[in-house]
A and B are shown apart, each in its own frame.
Chain A
Amino acid sequence: MTTAVVTTEAPTERAVAPPARPARRGRPPRAHRPVGGAGASVLLWGYAALALVPLLLMLSNSFRSNADLITDPLGLPAPPTTASYVEAWTTGNVATYFGNSLAVTVGAVAISTTVATMAAYALARGRSRIFRWLESLFLSGLMLPIHLAILPIFYLFDGLGLIDSRLGLMLMYAASGIPFSIFVLTTFFRQLPEELEEAAALDGASSWQTFWRIMVPLVRPALATVAVFRFVPIWNDFLFPLVLLRREEKYTLPVGLTNFFGENATNYSAVFAGLVITTIPLIVLFLVATKQIVAGLTAGMAK
């Protein structure tokens, strides 16, 4: 669902939506009295608790034993036990799923960001009309609900021998991330002065050297936004691995969890542990990269 964030942006509108514009969007509102007073503050913090408590319950319950969970559903982990983690990680195969998810997600993000950065640079700088046309083609991908093409993708994978292949899944995700990455990165490249390349050319740098040594370091903030923001939907995606993977040892976490949940429907604490393990990388990512995630979420907003 996160990929849908920019889907309404018609390609022609991209020029008015620079992704990072701290001057306007982040401008702190002038100090005036909080609307709604103390009552509203209670509401805001109360809702924050409602947003957070289920996640905290997930965490807290994962450190309790199963018997404990059943006898006292509202209890706290006192003393905490990590037995359910050991169980999920080893006998529950969550370790395997975790490794697969990590490999597929990191690989896809790396491939997607690399090829999209190269393409975005050429699209931002190319003067020929073919680049305008290619750019519209890529950006049309923002509006395509790729999940609806799962059937042809399945037969394509079948033909290429990529069914039950983590590499295939990785390439699929890498490709589906290209439109968003190009969308964000072309805007950034366009903001860089052309004099940089002219100076580099005078000094005898090739196109590749100019791109790699000069331009890429300058768009690093945008690269971070793209990479972090693509990580989340790939990590969480469910339909593709459900359809394209066959054997349990290839499963990524979301599909692995359905397996695990099915087999351990009564072993609640182990399930909680599995859910926590699936969520931890995203929470860590969110804490270290809140700024990039927020920038990604609002990248599609023209106004």
Chain B
Amino acid sequence: MRRRTGLVFVAPALALFAVFVLYPMVTAFSYAFFHWQGTSRGGFAGVENFATLFTRAPFTTDLPQALLHNVLFFVGTMLIQNTFGLTIAYLLYSRPRSRRVLQTLYAMPYLVSPIVIGYLWTLLLSPTFGPVNTLLTRIGLDSWALPWLGDPKTALWVVILVSVWQWIGFPVLLYGAALGGVPEELTEAARVDGATNRQAFFKITLPLLVPAIGTVSVLTFIFAMEAFALPYAFGGSTGNPAGSTDFVSLLFYRTAFDSGATDAIGSSSALATLLFLIIFGGAYAATSVLRRHERRITA
């Protein structure tokens, strides 16, 4: 293909991409380094906007709390999907006949909008008429019929568990695909040598799954750090009750669009930049460790 013809083919995509993705992404960083008065940009501010995040209320209380929730969200999700999710994928793998149907069923909630999922579970967990608590009461577990979303102690865990419930079809699917890449010869040879199923899994299959587990964990990390719609549906933009379901994205949203502070653009851009650095740094570090491991097992 001639160069000029090729460029004509690329032009529409490039124009859209440059205007609506590249330009905003690049300016997003620059916003964080200037003084702002409402929407008018002042002089260069260096890292002052970043300093604001660590010195001024409400950031001094809200930011560590929100960040902690993001981390708990990540750790909780990762632990469950890498134990329970992996177990499910492994069990499914030896059941080729029911595998497709079950994978499809597990993936169903994944498709549904997080907003819908949030409202659905809010209704299901309602203390007055929610089916969950009604069922618990009926089978004699009255003490378990708690106001799940009304209590700051349980609300965050509801958000995490519901998110895992929604998202788990994805790791199951990816682990299933990865299991397909484990050479049967290896596990069979191990069994011939007298290894039990358990030994074959932990000594052979699991190490070969590490790249897939790593990929899933990195994606989960990005996903957990960006969490917005699901917590918004559960606790609104302030992370009710009492900030117990607050996340960094919600804090960013409040700062940028709800706070009314005159330098809202500067401080919220600094927050977005910080979040980006956390996401990018974390994902990058994990990916390079993973790459190294991959080279080792393929060598």
Q: What is the size, in residues, of chain A's interface with B at 8 Å between Cβ atoms?
A: 111
Q: Point out the residues of chain A lying under 8 angstroms from B256, CB to CB.
A: 150-151
Other-chain residue from B31, B119, B121, B212 in contact with A261 (beta carbon distance below 8 A): B119
Given the known interface contacts A118-B10, A147-B228, A301-B174, the answer about A153 and B131 at a Cβ–Cβ threshold of 8 Å is no
* A98, CB-defined interface residue at 8 Å: no
Is the beta-carbon distance between A148 and B276 smaller than 8 angstroms? yes
Determine if A283 and B24 form an interchain contact, defined as CB atoms under 8 angstroms apart.
no
A30 at interface (Cβ–Cβ under 8 A)? yes
Q: Is the interface of B mostly helix, strand, loop or mixed?
A: helix
Query: Size band of the B side of the interface?
Result: 35 or more
CA distance A192 to B188 in the complex (A): 37
Q: Does B202 contact A (CB under 8 A)?
A: no
Residues of B near A51 (CB, < 8 A) are: 105-106, 108-109, 165, 168-169
Main secondary structure of the interface of A (DSSP, over half): helix
Q: How far is the CA of A144 from the CA of B21 in the complex (A)?
A: 9
Q: Does B16 contact A (CB under 8 A)?
A: yes
In the complex, the chain A residue whose C-beta lies closest to that of B218 is A8
Tell me, yes or no, whether A165 is within 8 Å of chain B by CB: no
Contacts of A4 in B (CB 8 A): 219, 222-223, 226
Any B CB within 8 A of the CB of A95: no
Residue B279 interfacial (CB < 8 Å): yes
B96 at interface (Cβ–Cβ under 8 A)?
yes
What 0/1 pattern do residues 22 to 40 of A give for CB contact below 8 A with B? Answer: 0011111111111110001
**Cβ-neighbour of B113 out of A29, A174, A175, A254 (below 8 A):** A254
CA distance A4 to B215 in the complex (A): 11
A214 within 8 A of B: no
Residues B226 and A1 in contact, CB atoms below 8 Å apart: yes
Q: Is B92 in the interface zone, CB < 8 Å from A?
A: yes
Distance in angstroms between the alpha carbons of A75 and B291 in the assembled complex: 53
Q: Using CB atoms and an 8 Å cutoff, list the residues of chain B in contact with chain A.
A: 1-3, 5-7, 9-10, 12-14, 16-17, 19-25, 27-28, 31, 39, 88, 90-96, 98, 102-109, 111-116, 119-121, 123-124, 128-131, 134-135, 138, 165, 167-170, 173-174, 177-181, 184, 197, 211-212, 215, 218-219, 222-223, 226, 228-229, 232-233, 249, 252-253, 256-257, 265, 268-269, 272-273, 275-276, 279-280, 283, 287, 294
15 residue pairs of the A-B complex, CB under 8 angstroms, read A4-B219, A8-B215, A36-B94, A44-B88, A48-B105, A73-B129, A122-B1, A131-B6, A149-B25, A155-B39, A175-B21, A278-B113, A293-B111, A294-B107, A303-B294
